[in-house]
Structure 1
Amino acid sequence: MFDRLQDIDWASMEHAYGSAEEVPALLWALRSSDAGARHKALDRFYGAVHHQGSVYPPTAASLPFLFELAADVATPDRAAVVALLVSIGRESLERGFEDDGTEIEYYPPMGCAQAVAFLCERGVEFAELARDPDPDVRLAAIPGLGLFLDDADRAAAVLRERLAAERGIAARLRIVEAAATLALRLPAVSQQVMDWLAVLAADPAQSPATRLAALVQRARCAPDEIGEDVVPAAVGLLRETARALPVRRIAPAPNRPATPADTVAPQIVAAFEDLDRHTRVHAPTTALLRTFHEALGAQVPERTAVLAEQLSSPDPGSRLDAVRMSGELMRTWRGDHTRLLLLVTDQLTTADQEVAAEAAAVLESCHPIAAPAREALAAHIDAQRTAHSPNVWAAPQALLRKSHQEAVRALVRLGDARALPSLLAALDSDVDAWRAIQVAGHLPQAADQLVPRLCDHLRRIDLSQQWTEMSANAILSALAALGDPAAVPVVVDTLGAAVRHERHGVTRSALKALGAFGPAATGARDTIRSLTTATDAHVRPAAVAALWAVGGDLSEVMPLLLGLLDDRITFRISDAADLLGEIGPPASVALPRLRGLLTQDYEWVRVHCAAALWEIGGQAEAPAVLDALLQAMAKNSATANHVVDCLDRMGPLAAPALPLLREQLAQPRRGGRFHSIDHDEALQRVGCTLIARLDPAAPGAPAPRTA
């Protein structure tokens, strides 16, 4: 097969980063005797030819050669090649076909259908690879039995055979998973496989991990059939499994190449570190339990019961994975999460700093509902400062430092000034100061201590270096939130530097900050005015908004706003509408244009213009405003926060929105903009209050939620 490698016109195909002409060299390198060359080639293949799971024409065209490598016992790292084959096939099935089995049309053309057809033709070879003498090859090949072997009876027989032969927990869990995949892919064998899984789950001769896997995969096959006994049974088996498995220390993360501190923003470095951290799995049952949580879906109390057991494991890696899953549940699904929050909070006092850091990070990300953790966070921070010195924020032990920083950030997000000493230590030491800056705006009561330090950091930023933009934006955002006019001079200086170096993002942030200071920034009016004609899409509306905030001259601002309403860039229209709504009735000259924009194609523009219409025109505009708002929310639930806020201001006139409001709040998944926990909690709070106000006598009217 490799003799025909050059017969393919690789240069005519493209992968994620352009021409696929490098693919033959990558395939050759996978059979190299040099381990470094093989590792580099595999990384590049995953990074470009199979980028983030994508399947391009050259990905599919590589399959025959990858199969030859997998079948050749002389190939080094055969297991890695088999795993690559399975990944390509799995992603092809998941991305390339609709639920009804019809092929999804891609642009540009992808190779999913070609890949699936080839792998199913060779499906029987996965049965042979699953019996390979090399246990790593067997482990990598097992999923292929469920994914690609179309002879269902043969696949089921091989899986039964392998389960009887394999002793390792990883292989056994993967065999049971492959059986469920087979049942879902081939309905003809579905009942047979599910019956087998049910027998396995009840068989006391099997290990608790195998029984747990069978129970979970049976639930995956038929989530609608999950009975009341399934979760208690799973919790019991999970407890037995935890007792049976050895307790191991959490393995250290692999070292990343050092990033030059003067060329890459620290936020970017941390983002890649977090990506590495979140893709690591520390317990053999984690993937299985993720499957169980997916099957349980919106059953929050049941999932909380499972997570409670996971969080009580003696194995720190299991608890670490459980903390992450807990955060995912609370951020994705609505419900009363108090119990789960407290269970995560209990992990702050664990001896394992990585688990404690993860718990604090989850509490920070869930800060809109994290009030029950406030006292525990404060006690944890105080204990660390007592035990390790007041400068524990900059502790040389990486895990201790991370644990403290995450806890401080979580407490600051709750607006609690007990975190202030560590925040000030961070700004004074300049160790990971960016992490403190990101949350500093949540402590306006400490502005007198924070603002001078933030201004000092801002003065030291060199905007001639592009990588400093993120840091400048974060400081400006914090200063705007704190609202202390003492920051005006340094913000004005930063605005000038941003304009000189054409850092448009920083220019916009500086304008927003000056707008937040209002008339206290009047001295910067001429500079702001000069930017109202800027060509950058974001700078111009920000300058107009700042000009109004610092000067309040309607005759100067109205022509600029009317010009933005006529713009073709949608966010400029929305920004202008927001400012017109802030101005209110004095902006009545804009009413005809705002009415006309209610027919604009983009629902976000309609929402912002409708809200402005209400603020300017009031009751006379109510029918058109209400119609635009409800249509937009019905079409795009992400608009719900904006819509509900406007409905709240409309008072009794919003009564026709009641059915849609109830429908929105009845959804089990979080909604609102970005489906984020902060937007969703605000949506529920305002929505419940609005429903209670509009129809207080209605049976079952929801009460406003509290954190």
Structure 2
Amino acid sequence: MFDGLHDIDWASMEHAYGSAEEVPVLLTALRSPDAEERHKALDRFYGAVHHQGSVYPPTAASLPFLFDLAVDGATPDRAAVVALLVSIGRESLDRGFEDDGTEIEYYPPMGCAQAVAFLRERGKEFAGLARDPEPDVRLAAIPGLGLFLDDADRAAAVLRERLAAEHTIAARLAIVEAAATLALRLPAALHQMTDWLAVLAADPDQGPPTRLAALVERARCAPDEIGEEVVPAAVGLLRETARAIPARRIAAAPSRPTAPTDAVPPQIVAAFEDLDRHTRVYAPTTALLRTFHEALGARVPERTAVLAEQLSSPDPGSRLDAVRMSGELMRTWRGDHTRLLLLLADQLTAADQEVAVEAAAVLESCHPIAGPVREALAAHIDAQRAAHGPDVWAAPTAQLRRSHQDAVRALARLGDTRALPSLLTALDGDVDAWRAIQVAGHLPQAADQLVPRLCDHLRRIDLSQQWTEMSANSILSALATLGDPVALPVMVDTLGAAVRHEQNGVTGSALEALSAFGLAAADARDRIRSLTTATDTHIRPAAVAALWAVGGDPAEVMPLLLGLLDDDITFWISDAADLLGEMGPSASVALPRLRALLTHGYEWVRVHCAAALWEIGGEAEAPAVLDTLLEAMATNPATANHVLACLDRMGPFAARALPLLREQLALPRRGGRFKSIDHDEELQRVGRTLIARLDPPTPGAPAARTP
């Protein structure tokens, strides 16, 4: 079984966490009669040797031994081993090769090419595994027919044979998917597989799930050829599939060890809980429908029609997965998402709390475009408070509590004070108060009620303890946004405590928060000044910015800014350029250095320096500024928000940007910094305003339609 295992110099290779010398022990443990030992070994293999899908040299070197385990009937958990083999092969193909089949070179070298070569050599054996007596082994092996078997005719024949023999939905969907994978991988298989998929999609004897899978996988093979009839046909088959598969209650999540709440920030605990929840799939057709949405791409109306059908399913798990897909669509693609938002709002009152929780969470994540569901959110929150009492924010049932909290947060992010009663309950009762603090800054009209409570929370943070930075930073950010000077004394005290306890992250956040108050924070000038020479790379620029904001002497601040401008740390240069831009023409002494930085190797530095040049030098600098901005935006679209903000200030001097602006607005995918909804919506708003200003319609002519 393991001949040659110890002849390999495993210690000379590395996986995700260092030396791979443990690999022989893990491989041997996969054959152990002890189920717990096997489970731990498999978990460790996925976690270190195949970490997040990575394929390292020891991953590839393990394949012969994993294959021996897979084909030996005496191996326990053979299906898990086969699934591991397939995962390594699939990830090797995805990560190790370009679309044209050329190998991607990594440093240090990866094991993708070696893994694919081995699995292709053993590809014929996947035909045997696909006929294994154990159903789980067959299910795990079926994808290998499409991924690794290079004999197109033989692979096609085995897939046809297995479809006739397999009766479970999971196996039939896997077979159809493997047929499409084969068609996309081998030109010799393309026509026979796509023709077969077309026949299956039209064959009523195959049953709705199989026909739906065939239709979707046929579309995956040729997304550019998706006709008008495909989506209506898919919606009809989806409806039939929902009737064919019995609805089931959503199974409870597996229990996990509870992290000690006094040792880990609640934000971190919640993030891992979210990650665990989002990796779960609740319906057998979810992966298939994700494939369909990927094939449809930018066809937002068609995808919305499919999601509308998914969201009307009688199966709560199918609706839950559809809620997540809806969020992914809205966060990734531009378009009118009103219908989808309203459909998600309908899920807030779902009988299954898991669905309601997810709907509220998605609406919160999409809050920049969630205006159409404002009233639905408010009504839902009021109904929950009426049914469960004013303390529903702290309800003992976890799902009800989370459903209410996410709906409140979504409404608060819309600036709606109807979220305020629950936020005050959270801040007064201290149950999940951190979740209320994160959205408090969106309600400046309620600053008189929020600020005293936020100050009280900030006073209670002991910065001598670990894990306090996230909480302190969140409160400081909220107070800065609310802008009530009542908060200044506790903010100054927090700055002092952060310096004493060397909490550099909190020190930087406190400086940024004080900057937001401008001259009102002038009493903190001496304390701020003392930090302008700090050795911490983040504190120094924050202190210089704060010193200027609270009324620092230009003669004192200018040398500090020029020093930052001359440094090699790129964000120091960008921060200094931003401040010099705020100073305007009075910072003309910096013009030569800013001009020189327009040739800096990092486009973000060039963008910030170009914007500062415009603010300081004005019209005389316009040609160089515009050239720099347009080149940076073309090179790195993530700079678009910063670029457009400067173009907006340049007015008519930005006229040459019109083609790039139109091109940007015509893109179907969201763009801007981080490609997030808020950045993209701002990008579109500024872009449309600029186009209208720079190219106004001719009087009497119909207005041009902005993309």
Instruction: Tell me the secondary structure at the aligned position of residue 551 of structure 1.
Output: coil
Q: What is aligned with 1:504?
A: 504
Alpha carbons 2:697, 2:704 under 8 Å: kept: no
Tell me, in whole angstroms, the C-alpha distance in 1 between the residues paired with 2:705 and 2:160.
Answer: 53
Q: Deviations over 1:577-614 (max 9, x none)?
A: 11111121221221111111111111111111111111
Instruction: Tell me the secondary structure at the aligned position of residue 467 of structure 1.
Output: coil
How far 1:464 moved relative to its partner? Answer: 2.3
How far 1:430 moved relative to its partner? Answer: 1.1
How far 1:527 moved relative to its partner? Answer: 0.9
Tell me, in whole angstroms, the C-alpha distance in 2 between the residues paired with 1:547 and 1:185.
Answer: 61
Tell me, in whole angstroms, the C-alpha distance in 2 between the residues paired with 1:46 and 1:462.
Answer: 39
How far 1:465 moved relative to its partner? Answer: 2.6
Amino acid in structure 2 at the alignment position of 1:255: S
Query: How is 1:480-499 mapped onto 2 (pairs within 5 angstroms)?
Result: 480-499=480-499
How far 1:618 moved relative to its partner? Answer: 1.2
Amino acid in structure 2 at the alignment position of 1:563: G
Alpha carbons 1:689, 1:703 under 8 Å: kept: no
Tell me, in whole angstroms, the C-alpha distance in 2 between the residues paired with 1:16 and 1:72.
Answer: 29
Tell me, in whole angstroms, the C-alpha distance in 2 between the residues paired with 1:464 and 1:147.
Answer: 55
Q: What is aligned with 2:225?
A: 225
How far 1:67 moved relative to its partner? Answer: 0.8
Amino acid in structure 1 at the alignment position of 2:373: A
Amino acid in structure 1 at the alignment position of 2:57: P
Tell me, in whole angstroms, the C-alpha distance in 2 between the residues paired with 1:88 and 1:405.
Answer: 40
Q: What is aligned with 2:177?
A: 177
Amino acid in structure 2 at the alignment position of 1:520: A
Amino acid in structure 2 at the alignment position of 1:119: L
Q: What's the TM-score once normalised by structure 1's chain length?
A: 0.98
Query: How is 1:231-630 mapped onto 2 (pairs within 5 angstroms)?
Result: 231-630=231-630
How far 1:297 moved relative to its partner? Answer: 0.5
Q: Deviations over 1:305-352 (max 9, x none)?
A: 100100111111111100100000000011111111111111111111
Q: Deviations over 1:176-225 (max 9, x none)?
A: 00000000010111010000000000001111000000000000001111
Q: Deviations over 1:460-491 (max 9, x none)?
A: 21222331111111111111111111111111
Return closer, same or farther for 1:416/1:703 CA change in 2, 3 Å cut-off: farther
Return closer, same or farther for 1:702/1:313 CA change in 2, 3 Å cut-off: farther
Amino acid in structure 1 at the alignment position of 2:137: V
Runs of 4 or more, structure 1, over 4 Å off, are 698-705
Q: What is aligned with 1:201?
A: 201
Worse-superposed segment, 41-50 or 25-34: 25-34
Amino acid in structure 2 at the alignment position of 1:11: A
Tell me, in whole angstroms, the C-alpha distance in 1 between the residues paired with 2:455 and 2:704.
Answer: 45
Instruction: Tell me the secondary structure at the aligned position of residue 258 of structure 1.
Output: coil
Return closer, same or farther for 1:702/1:305 CA change in 2, 3 Å cut-off: farther
Alpha carbons 1:55, 1:111 under 8 Å: kept: yes
Alpha carbons 1:249, 1:317 under 8 Å: kept: yes
Worse-superposed segment, 455-464 or 209-218: 455-464
Alpha carbons 2:126, 2:145 under 8 Å: kept: yes
Q: What is aligned with 1:130?
A: 130
Cα RMSD of the aligned pairs, angstroms, is 1.2
Q: Deviations over 1:359-417 (max 9, x none)?
A: 11111111111100100000000000010010001100010001001000100110101
Instruction: Tell me the secondary structure at the aligned position of residue 260 of structure 2.
Output: coil
Return closer, same or farther for 1:50/1:701 CA change in 2, 3 Å cut-off: farther
Tell me, in whole angstroms, the C-alpha distance in 2 between the residues paired with 1:605 and 1:546.
Answer: 21
Amino acid in structure 1 at the alignment position of 2:535: T
Amino acid in structure 1 at the alignment position of 2:130: A
Tell me, in whole angstroms, the C-alpha distance in 1 between the residues paired with 2:36 and 2:492.
Answer: 52
Alpha carbons 1:692, 1:703 under 8 Å: kept: no
Tell me, in whole angstroms, the C-alpha distance in 2 between the residues paired with 1:390 and 1:298.
Answer: 43
Tell me, in whole angstroms, the C-alpha distance in 2 between the residues paired with 1:121 and 1:281.
Answer: 33
Amino acid in structure 2 at the alignment position of 1:421: P
How far 1:702 moved relative to its partner? Answer: 6.3
How far 1:141 moved relative to its partner? Answer: 0.5
Alpha carbons 1:691, 1:701 under 8 Å: kept: no
Amino acid in structure 2 at the alignment position of 1:684: Q
Amino acid in structure 1 at the alignment position of 2:513: A
Return closer, same or farther for 1:234/1:301 CA change in 2, 3 Å cut-off: same
Amino acid in structure 2 at the alignment position of 1:505: G
Return closer, same or farther for 1:701/1:290 CA change in 2, 3 Å cut-off: farther
Q: What is aligned with 1:147?
A: 147
Amino acid in structure 2 at the alignment position of 1:228: E
Alpha carbons 1:691, 1:702 under 8 Å: kept: no
Alpha carbons 2:345, 2:373 under 8 Å: kept: yes
How far 1:28 moved relative to its partner? Answer: 1.1
Query: How is 1:27-176 mapped onto 2 (pairs within 5 angstroms)?
Result: 27-176=27-176
Q: What is aligned with 1:662?
A: 662
Alpha carbons 1:692, 1:702 under 8 Å: kept: no
Amino acid in structure 2 at the alignment position of 1:278: H
Tell me, in whole angstroms, the C-alpha distance in 2 between the residues paired with 1:645 and 1:369.
Answer: 21
Q: Deviations over 1:597-651 (max 9, x none)?
A: 1111111111111111111111111111111111111111111101111111111
Alpha carbons 1:585, 1:617 under 8 Å: kept: yes
Q: Kindly, what percent of the aligned residue pairs are identical?
A: 86
How far 1:507 moved relative to its partner? Answer: 0.7
Amino acid in structure 1 at the alignment position of 2:389: S
Amino acid in structure 2 at the alignment position of 1:348: L
Tell me, in whole angstroms, the C-alpha distance in 2 between the residues paired with 1:702 and 1:392.
Answer: 50
Tell me if 1:191 matches 2:191: yes
Matched residue count: 705
Tell me, in whole angstroms, the C-alpha distance in 1 between the residues paired with 2:338 and 2:165.
Answer: 45
Q: Deviations over 1:548-587 (max 9, x none)?
A: 1112421121111111111110111101111111121221
Q: What's the TM-score once normalised by structure 2's chain length?
A: 0.98
Could you tell me which runs of 5 or more consecutive residues in structure 2 were left unpaired when the two chains were aligned. none
Tell me, in whole angstroms, the C-alpha distance in 2 between the residues paired with 1:359 and 1:669.
Answer: 23
How far 1:703 moved relative to its partner? Answer: 6.5
Alpha carbons 1:686, 1:704 under 8 Å: kept: no
Amino acid in structure 2 at the alignment position of 1:222: A
Instruction: Tell me the secondary structure at the aligned position of residue 531 of structure 1.
Output: coil
Alpha carbons 1:685, 1:704 under 8 Å: kept: no
Tell me, in whole angstroms, the C-alpha distance in 1 between the residues paired with 2:136 and 2:639.
Answer: 49
Tell me, in whole angstroms, the C-alpha distance in 1 between the residues paired with 2:704 and 2:315.
Answer: 41
Alpha carbons 1:684, 1:704 under 8 Å: kept: no
Amino acid in structure 1 at the alignment position of 2:614: W
Worse-superposed segment, 194-203 or 599-608: 599-608
Tell me, in whole angstroms, the C-alpha distance in 2 between the residues paired with 1:32 and 1:470.
Answer: 44
